[in-house]
Chains A and B, each alone.
Chain A
């Protein structure tokens, strides 16, 4: 039951539009990159968890994707499944993989996803609104994903006096990091300012265009392994110190409290299981479909006082050189949102920082960090705590 488990290898495609690649072709490209980057052999992959590509893409979802993949890889996994929990899929994959490895079901499990975010302007917004709204009690009111997230933002503004400018600060901070990450979609662009965010096209109050993540395509893979495999593959594995999971609601109007939406509950479980607290964390990677998420979830995860998320981001503490870096790869806001695969990006970056392979954006202090992802309309949550010492 016990035994150290780590992320031993990670790889991610650069988010972009890949018109010549369907979901399956993206999957193959992700695997190709992972094998090349980490010199893995087929025997290094004993388990396989994959996510249906094509859920957000509007095509028919491939719900047997793990079967196709293991056949193409020429392996016969001892543990495998295709699973989906939206953006929380991959946090949960790492959690399921860790449990399986500790049970001795497999020495290693590959967690993998690929996705294509549908184009919002050509029916994508309606497709996604139908997917995430109650078909009787929400969708007929003209639901729109930014306006659903905005319910949390507006309520936070009411309860704590948070401002639209403070949400914009999250986007500014994420862009600062993306400018240091050649793999980010906005690498090589201009820095953002609060004024630029506020001057961009209004979408749904309080969000303007730059408060929203960038819809793109891509994919990534994470190899979770036991101690001996992890040490063989990685010079410094990212040890999984704690994990937490909480399922709150499906439809946003059913959330009991918009400032206690499930994130903190998953986080507290992860801290407890790690025997650590928020004060032990040196960085955070937080799923950010919109600028509201890191601001509110910093509070839920106990990383800043309740109601102070806005002041935290406005202080610059989350930016390069700040005392508590957040979303050091650029976040989905500036790195790019890869649809079905988006929940991989923050785990990949959390692991890279702990493994010490984050390039120009490597943090001087990355001994322990927290990674939070969620699925649906902030419906279900996964918190992982990664560290350099098992």
Chain B
């Protein structure tokens, strides 16, 4: 292949109950769904609460803070949109509010990412919308255990 143009990265598919989440992200606000019946704050947004199946939901403004629960540094681009990004970090983030979500850890050397590392939300422009992403937090909280090398 001698095609050097890199296609745009994929946009999230709009799924039921998630419209407000993506609209907020596009305004650079990070919100999480909250169940009025059982008070659960959960991820990912959907039309009911995964704990009690309650459908009376509202949204909380999340702190945007979390830690890296696990991650991998991707060296081989899975598809052409990522050809210019390798190596990049595919991570599971544990949010301060409890739920976990998938994201990339941006704005750092991938080799410096560790499990337990504090991160904060940032927003990546995908053209017609923005999506939540994470970056190392500007202060380093101590974790309960040292990071393995």
Contact of A154 among B70, B82, B85, B100 (CB under 8 A): B70
In chain A, residues 209-267, which have Cβ atoms closer than 8 Å to a Cβ of chain B?
251-254, 258
| Among all A-B residue pairs, the 4 with the closest Cβ atoms | A150-B72, A144-B78, A126-B79, A158-B115
Among A42-50, A72-80, A91-99, A196-204, the stretch that binds chain B is A196-204
Contact residues in A for B138 (Cβ distance below 8 Å):
none
Contact of A147 among B69, B90, B100, B103 (CB under 8 A): B90
Report if A157 contacts B (CB, 8 A). yes
Q: Given A136-B18, A140-B10, decide whether A129 and B79 contact each other with a Cβ distance below 8 A.
A: yes
Q: List 19 A-B contacts (CB under 8 A).
A: A129-B78, A136-B12, A136-B15, A140-B10, A141-B90, A141-B104, A142-B88, A143-B90, A153-B72, A157-B148, A158-B116, A158-B148, A161-B148, A201-B76, A204-B72, A204-B74, A252-B102, A253-B100, A258-B69
Report if A123 contacts B (CB, 8 A). yes
List 4 additional contacts besides A152-B70, A155-B115, A207-B72; criterion CB under 8 Å. A123-B79, A151-B71, A202-B76, A206-B72
Minimal Cβ-Cβ distance residue in B for A206 = B72
**Which of B43, B102, B104, B126 has the most chain A CB within a 10 Å cutoff?**
B102
A161 vs B3: C-alpha distance in the bound complex, in angstroms? Answer: 43
In chain B, residues 68-109, which have Cβ atoms closer than 8 Å to a Cβ of chain A?
69-76, 78-79, 81-82, 85, 88, 90, 92, 100-104
Contact residues in B for A135 (Cβ distance below 8 Å):
12-13, 15
Contact residues in B for A143 (Cβ distance below 8 Å):
78, 90, 102
A134 vs B82: C-alpha distance in the bound complex, in angstroms? Answer: 18
B70 pairs with A155, CB closer than 8 A: yes
In chain B, residues 9-48, which have Cβ atoms closer than 8 Å to a Cβ of chain A?
9-15, 18, 43-44
Contact residues in B for A158 (Cβ distance below 8 Å):
70, 115-116, 147-148
A142 pairs with B15, CB closer than 8 A: no
Report if A138 contacts B (CB, 8 A). yes
Report if B119 contacts A (CB, 8 A). no
A148 vs B75: C-alpha distance in the bound complex, in angstroms? Answer: 13
Residue count of chain A within 8 Å CB distance of chain B: 39
A142 pairs with B104, CB closer than 8 A: yes
Contact residues in B for A201 (Cβ distance below 8 Å):
75-76
Minimal Cβ-Cβ distance residue in A for B114 = A158
**Which of B15, B72, B75 has the most chain A CB within a 10 Å cutoff?**
B72
Minimal Cβ-Cβ distance residue in B for A158 = B115
Q: Given A135-B15, A253-B101, decide whether A142 and B9 contact each other with a Cβ distance below 8 A.
A: yes
Minimal Cβ-Cβ distance residue in B for A128 = B78
A253 vs B102: C-alpha distance in the bound complex, in angstroms? Answer: 6
Contact residues in A for B57 (Cβ distance below 8 Å):
none
Report if A146 contacts B (CB, 8 A). yes
A206 vs B74: C-alpha distance in the bound complex, in angstroms? Answer: 9
A153 vs B69: C-alpha distance in the bound complex, in angstroms? Answer: 12
Contact residues in B for A129 (Cβ distance below 8 Å):
78-79
Distance (Å) between the CB of A206 and the closest chain B CB?
Answer: 8
A137 pairs with B78, CB closer than 8 A: no
Contact residues in B for A253 (Cβ distance below 8 Å):
92, 100-102
Contact residues in A for B18 (Cβ distance below 8 Å):
136
Contact of A258 among B70, B88, B131 (CB under 8 A): B70
In chain A, residues 152-182, which have Cβ atoms closer than 8 Å to a Cβ of chain B?
152-155, 157-158, 161
A140 pairs with B78, CB closer than 8 A: no
Contact residues in A for B116 (Cβ distance below 8 Å):
158
A144 vs B69: C-alpha distance in the bound complex, in angstroms? Answer: 18
B13 pairs with A144, CB closer than 8 A: no
